[in-house]
Structure 1
């Protein structure tokens, strides 16, 4: 599939190396181009992601850049393949850097010629639960009921800040700091129109749900952005959805990688209240 896609896009695939195999399969070409192969059925999302990257570039918002050629994404056997410029060496963004990047994105005028659509907080969650082969049927049933509850709560969510362009998945792995001093957005497939709190809650739960950052780091984030999402009436709902999304991702990975089974089970148990109140310990990166 990689060879076919590269040939169609006029890139040489000889010597390509695997960067990551997960939600997407990612490869690096010798030319410094990054090739991203999406799961089946994600062609529209990939096409929109390419358009979002071009819009961000035009707006001066630092983001991963498309390797410019016509015809992106390439369709190979129903899977979308996109080509990107490799970033210089980079690390996860700090809370202050993430806040500044989000402030810049949220202040941008939405594109006029690109329909970003509304944020979709529950996209693909049902499918992930259905594929949770490592979980007991009772746990899958519980996740399904929890999903329905969150969907009901979402329809009645309280008003917050004015809606704007949101990244949609603004955890620090997707907001990175390069050696050249730029703070760059990655993985733009969830960029849409929605409440800015949807982006802000990612950093908030690093403190309140998992204890990954301390009070001082979170307060620096709040000062830089200018708003504390934890003081908003809808925070618990957005927190619960984010935790649920993280758990559903883990159960999907566990169905394909035995090394993730314990992590997936632990996350489900935390949501079920079996490990006491937040902040929970034991939530670790997926293999």
Structure 2
């Protein structure tokens, strides 16, 4: 589906929600579409087809966090915050306003608050391997040998997950807690969770690993910055016996995402191949350099 098609779905959803002649300002358009409505101070999110239940749960998570005094993006409150157009769910959110990526300490503080909450009944168990097979299959720029290696690595991690060593008690987790999804507002300095799509019940270590690999896998942050993170949270996930498994899953997810992106945009081909080469041991041990964001 083209960017224009996704924008048209957003336009139709706005009309269904009673928002006339909206001015859509793209924030990010890829598999999903995210747009600002500046005149209404709203954000419109167009999700993938068949994801209505997940979209509904995301709105429910936002309300639950608000009720428990954990800052998160808030539903628009329009009375039609979920509209389905051509099988694609569209949700409406209040615009957060100026914000910056959360620091390591801020992310740790926010995660500690989230992880301390009792688990609500509506959250499902975390699915660490969701859509990885499809992404490998869509990796048209990767050689057959590399694709088979990715499939084998996925099977290996699946088996290890089934025997994951016990760690901290499972409970509510964000599911994708990197600094783009845990941000701090400029005006009030409130650290806020965005993108609640992967909120679930799981090991808190899953959220902590997102920051840990920034240091151990890629060298994006210094030892002192990582230490500030785990000291603020109160636990260093890299000391846990299950860390290497969660690290491996995260690295594979990031690689498969890049490989799928390269299949539709040749500009990402080199990055996707570099990530595969890192996982296959072709460029030396961690931390690996050269991992660049995929827009």
- Give the TM-score range, shorter chain: over 0.9
Please tell me whether the aligned partners of residues 118 and 194 of structure 1 are also in contact (alpha carbons under 8 angstroms). yes
| TM value normalised by structure 1 | 0.96
Output one character per residue of 1:226-263: Cα deviation in whole Å (capped at 9) or x when no partner: 00100000000000000111111111211222211111
1:142 to 140, 149, 159: 149
Distance 1:94 1:65 in 2: 21
| TM value normalised by structure 2 | 0.94
Please tell me whether the aligned partners of residues 75 and 81 of structure 2 are also in contact (alpha carbons under 8 angstroms). no
Find the counterpart in structure 1 of residue 239 from structure 2. 231
Q: Offset of 1:177 from its aligned partner?
A: 1.0
Find the counterpart in structure 2 of residue 202 from structure 1. 210
> Following TM superposition, where does structure 1 have runs of at least 4 consecutive aligned residues deviating by more than 4 angstroms?
none
2:73 to 64, 72, 95: 64
2:110 to 98, 101, 113: 101
Alignment of 1:130-279 (within 5 A): 130-179=137-186, 180-279=188-287
Number of residue-to-residue matches in the alignment: 285
Q: Offset of 1:149 from its aligned partner?
A: 0.6
Distance 2:91 2:272 in 1: 30
For structure 1, the residue ranges without an aligned partner over 5 or more in a row are none
Distance 2:21 2:103 in 1: 35
For structure 2, the residue ranges without an aligned partner over 5 or more in a row are 1-8
Distance 1:23 1:94 in 2: 28
- What is the alpha-carbon root mean square deviation over aligned residues? 1.1
Output one character per residue of 1:169-190: Cα deviation in whole Å (capped at 9) or x when no partner: 1111110111120001011011
Distance 1:45 1:197 in 2: 23
Is 1:10–2:11 an aligned residue pair? no
- In structure 2, the CA distance between the partners of 1:271 and 1:245, relative to structure 1 (3 Å rule), is same
Is 1:119–2:141 an aligned residue pair? no
Find the counterpart in structure 2 of residue 40 from structure 1. 49
Q: Secondary structure at the match of 1:181?
A: coil
Distance 1:19 1:193 in 2: 29
Q: Offset of 1:134 from its aligned partner?
A: 1.6
Distance 1:12 1:194 in 2: 41
